[in-house]
């Protein structure tokens, strides 16, 4: 039996009912037999990153424990994205749902299709602000920098606005 690992996932949506997409994603993560959501951040509205004109995102970070390997977790979150109609057509384009594995315990991994920690998270305030909220000021594996230090250096802090929305986190019984 595998020992549970603490993971942090970044969730974002900028198409359709953004809040509902995030809520459904959290519910589907929680319903997975090998994922237990432990904390959810506040929800932030953020200006999109990249060259494509598109609506603002709602973003949040989820802390969870899982017995899945990094590759199995990636497969699980991609299945959730597909169930919520994620279409991958334009890099950094609009999407109903995006789930990124930000951190997988202390693991540093670089392989085709999966890099841990997430390769751009340390530059993005829309990831670092909610990550700091759920993870505290932890050190980022590989770089050794703290979340707070990276947030202070992030170039896009002004584009992140806390919303009044709250995520319902219903414990799974069973």
Q: What is the DSSP string of 2-18?
A: PPPEEEEEEEEE-SSSH
Q: Quote the CA–CA distance of 33 and 147 in Å, as a whole number.
A: 29
Please report where in the chains the tokens 């997409």 appear, as a residue.
21
pLDDT of residue 95: 80
Q: For the chain, give me the number of helices (H) and strands (E)?
A: 4, 8
Q: Is residue 69 part of a domain?
A: yes
Q: Give the model's confidence band at 157: pLDDT under 50 very low, under 70 low, under 90 confident, else very high.
A: confident
In a domain, 138, yes or no: yes
Asked whether residue 173 is domain-assigned, the answer is no
- The answer to the question of residue 168 being in a domain is no
Distance, in Å, from the CA atom of 80 to the CA atom of 98, rounded to the nearest integer, reads 9
Domain count, the chain: 1
Q: Is residue 171 part of a domain?
A: no
- Tell me the pLDDT tens digit for each residue of 48-73: 877 678 899 999 999 999 999 999 99
Domain annotation covers residue 26 = yes
Residue 18 belongs to a domain: yes
pTM comes to 0.92
- Nearest by Cα to 168 from 32, 37, 51: 37
Q: How far apart are CA 96 and CA 106, in angstroms?
A: 30
Looking up residue 51, the CATH number of its domain turns out to be: 3.30.70.560
Of the candidates 30, 27, 25, 59, the one whose C-alpha atom is nearest the C-alpha of residue 43 is 59
Domain boundaries, position 40: 5-162
Residues labelled catalytic: 86, 95, 98, 100
Three-state DSSP at 116 gives: strand
Q: Render pLDDT for 7-54 as a digit per residue (tens, 0 to 9).
A: 999 999 998 899 999 999 999 999 999 999 999 999 999 988 776 788
Q: How far apart are CA 18 and CA 112, in angstroms?
A: 29
Count Cα neighbours of 93 within 13 Å in the Cβ-side half-sphere: 6
Whether residue 174 is predicted with pLDDT greater than 50 in this model: the reply is no
């Amino acid at each position: 039996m595998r020992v549970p690992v603490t993971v942090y996932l970044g969730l974002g949506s900028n198409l359709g009912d953004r809040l509902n997409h995030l809520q459904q994603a959290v519910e589907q993560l929680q319903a997975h037999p090998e994922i237990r959501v432990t904390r959810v951040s506040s929800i932030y509205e953020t200006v999109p990153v990249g060259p494509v004109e598109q609506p603002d995102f709602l973003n949040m970070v989820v802390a969870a424990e899982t017995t899945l390997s990094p590759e199995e977790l990636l497969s699980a979150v991609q299945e959730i994205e597909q169930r919520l109609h994620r279409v991958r057509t334009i890099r950094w384009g609009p999407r109903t749902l995006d789930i990124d594995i930000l951190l997988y315990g202390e693991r540093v991994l670089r392989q085709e299709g999966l890099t841990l920690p997430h390769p751009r998270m340390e530059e993005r305030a829309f990831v670092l602000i909610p990550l700091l909220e759920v993870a505290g000021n932890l050190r980022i594996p590989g770089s050794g920098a703290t979340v707070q230090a990276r947030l202070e250096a992030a170039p896009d802090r002004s584009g992140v606005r806390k919303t009044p929305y709250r995520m319902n986190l219903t414990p799974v019984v069973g």
